[in-house]
Structure 1
Amino acid sequence: MLLWQLFGLIGFLTLCKGQDSGVGALCDDFTELDFHESFLWTTLNLKLLLYTKYNLRCGRELNHHQLSSQPLFNLSLPTAFVIHGYRPTRAPPFWVDHVVQLLSEQEDMNILVVDWNRGAANLNYFTAVTNTRQAANNLTGFILNMQAEGAPLSSVHLIGSSLGAHLAGFVGANLKGKIGRITGLDPAGPMFTGATPEERLDPSDAMFVDVLHTDINSFGLRGQHGHIDYYANGGSDQPGCPKTIFSGRSYFMCDHQRSVFLYLCALNRTCSLTAYPCSSYSDFLDGQCLQCEAFKPAPCPMLGYDVSRWRDILLRLGQTKVYFTTTATLPYKKVSYMVDMVTWNLYPRWGVLILRLHSGRNFTEARIDHKLFRFEQYTSTRLLVQFDEDLQPIQKISLSIATRNVIGPRYKIRLIRIRLAPLEQPDRPLMCRYDIIMEENIEVAFRPLPCDPRL
C-alpha cells in the first residue's frame, strides 16, 4: 500500500512541475476548513492563487510584495481576480477550476483566485459580511503594489460571486473607481438590501460594471448595480430549480448559483445568451423590447467576457437593464421568434397562445401564458415566443388559443395573418400564413409560407 502511495505522490509532483513551467514547486491549494473551525472562529487570511497559461492546473500562491520577482506573474498582462462568496460548507467553490480554464481561453492573462475562505466560511453570515471589508482592504493593498510595479489599474478585472461581488465593489471604491471592470454574479442580498452605494457594489466602483441577477427575491440583491444589469428569466425563479422546500438545500441555493453556471456557459461561448434592453420583464415577454435600437450598429448585448462592442454605448446610455430567458439545462439558450398576429373576429377574446414548430416527427412547444392576451377585430398582437429547441427545417406549425371558455359553444377566431420572425438568425426567412379560421381551445396546423412583403 505504501508503494502505491509513493507512486501516486511522484505522479502528482511530476504533474505540478510540468504545469508550472519548470518552477518545480508543489501546487498551492484553496483553503479547506474543518467544521469546528467555521463553527468556532477563523482569522481572516487572504491567499492569492495564481494561474497562467503555464500552470493552469497548478495554482501558485503569490507573495503580496516584490511582485516583479515572481516568475509566473507578468505585470504587463491583464489580471482577472476571481472572488468567491459566503462558504457555509467550508469547502472550495466547485466552479473555481472551471472559471480559471475558461478565462484562460479568452486572452493571455494572469488569473488570481482570491481565497478568503477563512473569512467567508463562518456559520455566522454576519461575520462573513463584516470580513468583506478587511478582505477588500488586503486585496486593495495588493493591487496598489501591482500599480507601483507598473501594472495599470485599467487592466484589472474583478469577478465576484454573491458576497464576493460586494467585496469587489469595496476594492473598487478604495481605488476610486479606477480599476477597469467589475463583474458581479448575483450580488448578495441579505444585509445589503436598502444599503447605500457606499455599502454595496455600484457603478462608480470601476470604469465598467456588469451585473448578472438570478435570485433577486431571495439570496440575490434587487435593483440596478452596474452600468448594465442582466436579468436571467426576470432575475428570479430559474427554470429547473426546485419550487418547494422539500427539495432541501437545492431549494435555497439553486437560483442563486445559476448565475455562476450561466457565466461559465457564456465564457465557453456555447450559450450565446442575447439580452434585450427593456424597462420591465413583463414588457420584454410581451415583445415590446426586441429591436435594440439604442445599440445599433452593434447587435443586442450578450452575456460574457468580451463587452468591447457595447461598452462605450452603455457608458453613454447610463444604467441599463437587459433581459433574457433560458432553458433549465445546458446550453441554456432559447430560440426566439417575434410572432405578429392580425385578428378579424368581431368580438374580443381573451386567452393564451400555444405554438408548436414541427420538423419531421420532432416538435418543440412554447406556451405564452404569463398573462391573458386580448384578441380583437383588426388588431395586431405582437408576442415574444421562445422555444427550448432549434428545429430546422420548420415543416409545419400548429397553433391554439386557450381561453377560459370551458362550457358553452366554442367561438371562432379568424387570423388574417400570422408571421414568425427569427430574432437571432436574421439569415433565416420569415414564415407566414394567411386567413386561418380557428376555434377556441382547438389546435389548428398549417404549413408556413413565404411572407408577402405587401401584407
Structure 2
Amino acid sequence: MMTLWRLLGLVVLLVFCTGQDNDCDNFTDLDFRESFIGTSLYVRLLLYTRTNLACGQELHHHNFAREPLFNVTRPTTFIIHGYRPTGAPPVWIDHITRLLVAQADMNVLVVDWNRGAANLNYFTAVANSRYTAANITGFLQRMRDEGASLDSVHLIGVSLGAHVAGYIGALLGGRVGRITGLDPAGPMFGGVPPEERLDPSDAQFVDVLHTDMNSFGLRGSLGHIDFYANGGLDQPGCPKTIFSGRSYFVCDHQRSVLLYLCALNHTCRITAYPCSSYSDFLHGQCLQCEAFKPASCPVLGYDLSQWRDTLLKLGQTRVYFSTTAEPPYRKTNYRVDMITWNRYLRWGVVTLRMHSGKNVTETRIDHKLLRFELYTATRMLAQFDEDLYPIQKISLRIVTGNLIGPRYKVRLLHLQITPLDLPDRSPMCRYDIIMEDNAEVTFKPLPCDE
C-alpha cells in the first residue's frame, strides 16, 4: 500500500515535458493531459546504428527488410522503458543508444510504447506490458525469418520494461541470447510465480541490477546473476524525506540506469562480490571469488562474457557492491587483515586514513563491533570514496568505547592491507604496533613478507 501511495505522490510531483519536431523520428512525447485521460497502446521501434546515431529511424514492423540501415545479421539490442506516468520521454534514451553503439557494430532498437505506458493508472500500464511483449515477439519472429539469430538479440528492460523483456523471452522459449533487467518493477510483481515476471528461464543469460527493492523495485533473485548496489535498497546521495520533491520518489529507482550508463561509458569499473547478504559483504566475509578463477570477480556492465559459463553452471548468483553518491560511483576496496595479541578481550571499531602527498581519504569500519583478543585473526572490508596512489602513510585508530579509567591497549602483531580491485598494486604491511584506545597511530607501510 505504501508503494502505491508513493506512486501517486510521484505522479503529482512530476513536471510536464514538451518535445521538439525535427526531421528525425523521435520518441513519443506526450503531455500530462494525455496521461491523465489515459492512452491506448501503440508500439513503435526506433532504429539507431553507427550510421544514424544522432537521428532515429522508425521501422515498419512488417516491411523492415527493405530498410537500408537495418541489417538483421548484425547483433540487435532492444531498449525497453517502463511506466511513464506523465508521458515525458526518458531522459537517458539518447545517452544509452550512443554508448551501446560504441560497444559494437549493432542495431539498437528503442521500443517506444509510451502510448500505453503513459497512464495515471499503473495497472493499465502493467496490462499493456503483456501486449507490448506480444508485439515485439512478432517482430523478432519476422527478424528470424529474415535470417537473424536469436542468439545475438539482447533485451535491456528498465523497471516495468524488464518484465516486458521477460515476457518476450518466455514467448520465444528462452532462446533470446540475453536479457538485462535494470531494477525490475516491484508493484504488482511481488510474490507472483516466475512465469508472470522476469526469471532466468526467459533467456540464455539473464543479468539484473537492483537499486530500489524497498519501493519501486522487486526483491529477490531474478537472473543468473543479480547485482545489488548498496544492498539493492537505499542509494547514497538520494533524498531521505518527501520534502525533497520528485527526487525522493525516483532517485533510488533511477540509480540503476545511471550505474549502467556509467559502466557502459567505462568511467566506473565496479567489481561485485558473491555473498549471501550485503551485511556479510560489509563484514568482510565475501572478499574472494574462488568460483570464478582464473577470471576475477564479476564486473557490472555490458561485457560479462568471461563470467557467463561459470554463472550458468552455478545457477542464480547474488553479488554485492557499494558505491559513492556521485559519478563515477566507484569505491576503492581493501581487505584488512589483523592479528592481535592483547591479553584481555576488547571490542571496538576501526578508522583508517590513507595519505598520498597532501591528499587524505578516510573510512570508518563500524558495521559491527570487532573482536580483538589473544592471537586472533580479524578480517575487515575497508571502502574509500577516493583512490589515492601511491600510499605514503597510513593512519590507524581503534575505538573501544571506554570512557572511564585508563586507556585500553591493543597490540597488533601483523597488519596487512590488500587492494581488492587493483591487482597490479601490492599489499601493504606493518608489524608489531601498540595501539591505545582512541589514539591514532601513523606509519609508513612496508612491503609484505613472502
The residue identity in structure 1 corresponding to 2:60 is: N
Counterpart for residue 8 of structure 2: none
Counterpart for residue 310 of structure 2: 313
Displacement over 6 Å in runs of 4+:
none
Question: How far does residue 245 in structure 1 lie from its aligned partner after superposition?
Answer: 2.1
Tell me, yes or no, if structure 1 residue 245 matches structure 2 residue 242: yes
SS at match of 2:438: coil
Tell me, yes or no, if structure 1 residue 385 matches structure 2 residue 408: no
Q: Which of 144, 147, 159 is the aligned partner of 1:147?
A: 144
Q: Which of 59, 74, 78 is the aligned partner of 1:77?
A: 74
The residue identity in structure 1 corresponding to 2:333 is: S
Aligned pairs (5 A) from 1:27-426:
27-426=24-423
Aligned equivalents of 1:223 and 1:212: distance in 2? Answer: 11
Asked if 1 retains the 8 angstrom alpha-carbon contact of 2:38 and 2:118, the reply is no
SS at match of 2:42: coil
Question: How far does residue 409 in structure 1 lie from its aligned partner after superposition?
Answer: 2.8
Asked if 2 retains the 8 angstrom alpha-carbon contact of 1:210 and 1:229, the reply is yes
The residue identity in structure 2 corresponding to 1:173 is: A
Question: How far does residue 34 in structure 1 lie from its aligned partner after superposition?
Answer: 1.6
The residue identity in structure 2 corresponding to 1:409 is: P
Name the Cα RMSD after superposition: 1.2
Aligned equivalents of 1:325 and 1:217: distance in 2? Answer: 17
Question: How far does residue 89 in structure 1 lie from its aligned partner after superposition?
Answer: 2.8
Question: How far does residue 263 in structure 1 lie from its aligned partner after superposition?
Answer: 0.3
SS at match of 1:105: helix
Across the two proteins, how many residue pairs are aligned to each other?
430
Aligned equivalents of 2:287 and 2:173: distance in 1? Answer: 36
Aligned equivalents of 2:180 and 2:151: distance in 1? Answer: 14
Asked if 1 retains the 8 angstrom alpha-carbon contact of 2:31 and 2:86, the reply is no
Aligned equivalents of 1:346 and 1:201: distance in 2? Answer: 55
Counterpart for residue 20 of structure 1: none
Asked if 2 retains the 8 angstrom alpha-carbon contact of 1:419 and 1:430, the reply is yes
Aligned equivalents of 1:407 and 1:173: distance in 2? Answer: 65
Counterpart for residue 430 of structure 2: 433
Q: Percent identity?
A: 72
Asked if 2 retains the 8 angstrom alpha-carbon contact of 1:67 and 1:149, the reply is no
The residue identity in structure 2 corresponding to 1:301 is: P
Q: Give unmatched runs, 5+ long, in structure 2.
A: 1-20
Asked if 2 retains the 8 angstrom alpha-carbon contact of 1:355 and 1:399, the reply is yes
Q: Deviations over 1:2-34 (max 9, x none)?
A: xxxxxxxxxx97xxxxxxxxxxxx210111112
Aligned equivalents of 1:89 and 1:399: distance in 2? Answer: 52
